[in-house]
A and B are shown apart, each in its own frame.
Chain A
Amino acid sequence: MKFIVSSSKLLKQLQTISGVINSSNTLPILDNILFEIADNNLTISASDLETTMSTTLNVEADENGSVAIPAKLLLDTLKTFPEQPLTFLIDTDKNCIEISSDQGKYALAFQNGDEFPKAPGIEAASTALIHSDIIATGINKTIFATGNDDLRPVMSGVFCKFSDSGLTLVSTDAHKLVRYTRHDVTSDQSAEFILPKKPLNILKGILAAADEEVKIEYNETNAKFSFGSIVLTCRLIDGKYPNYNAVIPQENPNKLTIDRLSFLNSVKRVSIFSNKTTHQIRLKIAGNEMHISAEDLDFSNKADERLSCQYEGSDIEIGFNSRFLMEMISNLETEQTHLEMSAPNRAGILLPEGNSQDGEDILMLVMPVMLNN
């Protein structure tokens, strides 16, 4: 079997899908990329068993067939070539591929393509069509708040909920929580599932550059994203997602409005002086003034800043992990931001200015650090 392909086009596609490959695999075949040729179409796939991703490009081929080629060797080689047509000659008797370039010839062993695990088909699937921008934004807004605890796998993913009132994405690590809602993406059937972090991170990268409708098919166990020539199939996280709505405080009489960037910069500066393990900072709000302070008793380091703000409510003193605050504030985009609080031991709510405009609704929760004076 023989096919000819442009080196740069192939490289680009390989780089797109190679993010799926784990650095160490229990199944050796997963170190490979599957090449399948059918009627002058080359489909390349990578998999870690949980997530499988493939893409298709046109080639000139003399027959159909499939082989699994070592991913690292191939990528390392292709990266060095200037744009040119490459000829892949597959010798099934010798179990060897010969790549011919303008510069020379390279031979590498391959494995039988039939041994490569197939992506599961999605039976009895529901389907949704969502624009790539919306998905990319949704992932960007939520993925940072996911957890990393192997013993609580549901929190390591992003919860997705389709309903007639909109699409909701939720992530939480039990200390912070983000709920991102699009009212302009509605679905007749309601559905809920938890997507793992890894495929979302891969999608985030590619979707930012795409500008097209993404077809999402899903059932109880798997989800499949198709757009352009790319198809990504992933297994869903099994389990019950925590009841996030129950932990969102409803009565928040203390409302702060502040310039987002000056708030962010103050938190960043002050946090340098906070305890190196807890990153605790203290917000003291009274009148139209907020004091942000931190202290590291181990080194006698201390910082205190004053910011003017708009504030309605009673005076409050509340502690937060500055890391969480920084991540959240920098993830909002508006000029002003709102922080709503009820008590120093209840979650604070961060909201962008003018929420719910453009069909988008963002709510971030952050649990405080208990202050002992």
Chain B
Amino acid sequence: MIALADCNNFFASCERSIRPELEGKPIVVLSNNDGCIIARSNEAKALGYKMGEPVFKVRDKLVRNQVHVFSGNVALYRDISEKIMHILASECNAMEIYSIDEAFMDFTDVAAPDEKAILLREQVLKETKIPISVGIAKTKVLAKLASRIAKKHTQSGVFVLNDKELIERALSYYSVEELWGVGRKQTHLLNDKGIFQASQLAKTDEAWLRRHMKIGGVRLARELNGIPSFALEENRPSKKSIMTSRSFRREVASFGVLNEVLSNFASSCAFKLRKQETIAKKIAVFIQTNRFKSDVKHHYGYLEVEFPVATNDSIEIIKAVYEALDRIYDRDCLYKRAGVIVSDIIPDKEIQLNLFSDQDISKRAKLMKVYDDVNCKMGEGTLRLSIQGTEKQWGQKKAPIAFRN
């Protein structure tokens, strides 16, 4: 059996977990630069706010409804997520962390999965104040469906989808686009063939699925029929590339500020690389003017650079960013967006050395270890390179005071 634990309204629940006085009050969390709504508490959902709704459309309504509005605080969410995953991992044999707020757990040898899930749910709620839903079934796709049912239709927040009749009822209740792994394109394809309900997909001819949806479609249908076809991926493959990019509140013209911004992005990429014990062979830097302004000079600068030796060293990566920016920067432009992408990521145990580089890799690795330890203990950015600056003038907008009640 597979259990999927899914945090309810995760970002909104996180904000509430550190502010208990908001219990029962509507909460929304906004995206980067406060553009759109990306999380809603149940109360906010009931007031009719939509996922991804642009803030400017509902600004007045938010004030009128006395909704508590927060700018996304990724560091907090990541922290709470790690705590939850830790609790879940200690209670099952194997686990796949699927996203920041979801994890598949191996419940194979669990005698009473529903009872165990209820206990687990209580433990998470007690220790982190985050409500979770748990769906239990034979396959990942069914478990995902079960967690939906658990969230919407149960008091306990736990639902076991194992009974044959129950599965049939669930599959005829849900449409194909609500299934895990079915996107817009596949939905169109299936609807054209007259397949609307999940139950219809489960009965679809495999040969047809193979032809039109490749092996993924066949696996999906098998999973719906209770035949496990997607394995639990305990070690999700390391990312092939890591990108950090932002749109700025105000356009930036100065090389110095751009370099500061990009150095911070580079530092964040470097930290992520070290965290997953990998190194990158290449780095790309891009800077972009505002596409929506017609009266200014437009420029999209992009340059990919190969490191002499694949690295996760903040100093080396920031150095490469400077060199790349120097080549692509146009002083006559106002930049709205910039980013750093590290790619060709390989394990940090296998460093191909360079004939012409005399960098002391193990010494630098030790330095980075200290760097991370200090920042982990004392807070992000406590130790940084001076080029990263002290004031993030370019930083993100924070939710305007008027929104905070």
Which A residues have a C-beta under 8 Å from some C-beta of B? 149, 151, 172, 174-177, 242, 247, 275, 277-278, 280, 297-298, 319, 321, 345, 347, 365, 367-370, 372
Are B354 and A277 within 8 A (Cβ)? no
Measured between beta carbons, the chain B residues less than 8 angstroms from A275 are 346-347, 350
Say yes or no: A172-B355 contact (C-beta < 8 A), given A149-B306, A298-B237. Answer: yes
Docked complex Cα distance between A372 and B355 (Å)? 19
Are B354 and A278 within 8 A (Cβ)? no
Are A367 and B354 within 8 A (Cβ)? yes
Docked complex Cα distance between A35 and B333 (Å)? 48
Task: Name 25 A/B residue pairs within 8 A (Cβ), A-sorted.
Answer: A151-B305, A174-B308, A174-B355, A174-B356, A175-B352, A175-B353, A175-B355, A177-B355, A242-B356, A247-B355, A247-B356, A275-B346, A277-B346, A278-B346, A278-B352, A298-B237, A319-B350, A321-B352, A347-B355, A367-B353, A367-B354, A368-B353, A369-B350, A369-B351, A370-B353
> Number of B residues whose C-beta is below 8 Å from A?
18
Are B347 and A278 within 8 A (Cβ)? yes
Are A175 and B346 within 8 A (Cβ)? no
List 7 tightest A-B contacts by C-beta distance, closest first: A278-B350, A370-B351, A367-B353, A372-B349, A247-B355, A280-B350, A174-B354
B296 at the interface (CB under 8 A from A): no
B361 at the interface (CB under 8 A from A): yes
Are B355 and A369 within 8 A (Cβ)? no
Binary per-residue interface labels of chain B (217-249) against chain A in the complex, 1 for a CB within 8 Å, 0 otherwise? 000000000000000000101000000000000
Q: A174-B355, A319-B350, A370-B350 are in contact. List 4 more A-B contacts (CB 8 A).
A: A174-B308, A247-B355, A277-B344, A277-B346
Measured between beta carbons, the chain B residues less than 8 angstroms from A278 are 346-347, 350, 352
Measured between beta carbons, the chain A residues less than 8 angstroms from B361 are 370
Are B237 and A369 within 8 A (Cβ)? no
Docked complex Cα distance between A108 and B356 (Å)? 53
- Chain B nearest Cβ from A88, distance in angstroms: 47
Docked complex Cα distance between A347 and B306 (Å)? 21
Docked complex Cα distance between A370 and B352 (Å)? 6
Smallest CB gap from A147: residue in B: B306
- Chain A nearest Cβ from B352, distance in angstroms: 5
Measured between beta carbons, the chain B residues less than 8 angstroms from A368 are 353
Measured between beta carbons, the chain A residues less than 8 angstroms from B347 are 275, 278, 297
Docked complex Cα distance between A365 and B356 (Å)? 12
Which B residues have a C-beta under 8 Å from some C-beta of A? 235, 237, 305-306, 308, 344, 346-347, 349-357, 361
Say yes or no: A369-B352 contact (C-beta < 8 A), given A275-B347, A277-B346, A278-B347. Answer: yes
Docked complex Cα distance between A368 and B361 (Å)? 14
- Chain B nearest Cβ from A339, distance in angstroms: 16
Measured between beta carbons, the chain A residues less than 8 angstroms from B306 are 149, 151
Measured between beta carbons, the chain A residues less than 8 angstroms from B353 are 175, 345, 367-370
Smallest CB gap from B237: residue in A: A298
- Chain A nearest Cβ from B360, distance in angstroms: 10
Measured between beta carbons, the chain A residues less than 8 angstroms from B235 are 298
- Chain A nearest Cβ from B194, distance in angstroms: 41
Are A175 and B354 within 8 A (Cβ)? yes
Docked complex Cα distance between A278 and B306 (Å)? 15
- CB < 8 Å: which of A149, A319, A365, A370 contacts B355? A365
Measured between beta carbons, the chain A residues less than 8 angstroms from B350 are 275, 278, 280, 319, 369-370
Smallest CB gap from A175: residue in B: B352
Docked complex Cα distance between A369 and B346 (Å)? 12
Docked complex Cα distance between A314 and B146 (Å)? 62
Measured between beta carbons, the chain A residues less than 8 angstroms from B237 are 298
Smallest CB gap from B365: residue in A: A372
Docked complex Cα distance between A282 and B258 (Å)? 43
Docked complex Cα distance between A347 and B308 (Å)? 15
Docked complex Cα distance between A370 and B305 (Å)? 22
Measured between beta carbons, the chain A residues less than 8 angstroms from B344 are 277
Smallest CB gap from B240: residue in A: A277
Docked complex Cα distance between A245 and B389 (Å)? 42
Residue of B235, B306, B350, B354 ringed by the most chain A CB atoms within 10 A? B350
- Chain B nearest Cβ from A102, distance in angstroms: 50
- Chain A nearest Cβ from B31, distance in angstroms: 34
Measured between beta carbons, the chain A residues less than 8 angstroms from B349 are 372
- Chain A nearest Cβ from B349, distance in angstroms: 5
Docked complex Cα distance between A278 and B235 (Å)? 19
Docked complex Cα distance between A69 and B193 (Å)? 53
Measured between beta carbons, the chain A residues less than 8 angstroms from B354 are 174-175, 367
Docked complex Cα distance between A20 and B308 (Å)? 31
Measured between beta carbons, the chain A residues less than 8 angstroms from B351 are 369-370
Docked complex Cα distance between A284 and B235 (Å)? 29
Smallest CB gap from B358: residue in A: A247
Measured between beta carbons, the chain B residues less than 8 angstroms from A280 are 350
Measured between beta carbons, the chain B residues less than 8 angstroms from A347 are 355
- Chain B nearest Cβ from A31, distance in angstroms: 29
Docked complex Cα distance between A297 and B346 (Å)? 12
- Chain B nearest Cβ from A248, distance in angstroms: 9
- Chain B nearest Cβ from A240, distance in angstroms: 12
Measured between beta carbons, the chain B residues less than 8 angstroms from A149 are 306
Docked complex Cα distance between A149 and B344 (Å)? 15
Smallest CB gap from B357: residue in A: A174
- Chain B nearest Cβ from A241, distance in angstroms: 11
Docked complex Cα distance between A345 and B352 (Å)? 10
Smallest CB gap from A344: residue in B: B353
Measured between beta carbons, the chain B residues less than 8 angstroms from A151 are 305-306
- Chain A nearest Cβ from B299, distance in angstroms: 20
Smallest CB gap from A347: residue in B: B355
Docked complex Cα distance between A33 and B356 (Å)? 42
Measured between beta carbons, the chain B residues less than 8 angstroms from A367 are 352-355
Docked complex Cα distance between A370 and B350 (Å)? 6
Docked complex Cα distance between A175 and B351 (Å)? 11
Measured between beta carbons, the chain A residues less than 8 angstroms from B346 are 275, 277-278
Measured between beta carbons, the chain A residues less than 8 angstroms from B357 are 174
Measured between beta carbons, the chain B residues less than 8 angstroms from A369 are 350-353
Measured between beta carbons, the chain B residues less than 8 angstroms from A175 are 352-355
Measured between beta carbons, the chain B residues less than 8 angstroms from A242 are 356
Docked complex Cα distance between A275 and B305 (Å)? 24
Docked complex Cα distance between A367 and B237 (Å)? 28
Measured between beta carbons, the chain A residues less than 8 angstroms from B352 are 175, 278, 321, 367, 369-370
Measured between beta carbons, the chain A residues less than 8 angstroms from B355 are 172, 174-177, 247, 347, 365, 367
- Chain B nearest Cβ from A291, distance in angstroms: 18
Docked complex Cα distance between A368 and B350 (Å)? 10
Measured between beta carbons, the chain B residues less than 8 angstroms from A372 are 349
Docked complex Cα distance between A365 and B355 (Å)? 9
Docked complex Cα distance between A298 and B308 (Å)? 26
Docked complex Cα distance between A278 and B308 (Å)? 15
Docked complex Cα distance between A242 and B356 (Å)? 8
Docked complex Cα distance between A298 and B349 (Å)? 13
Smallest CB gap from B351: residue in A: A370
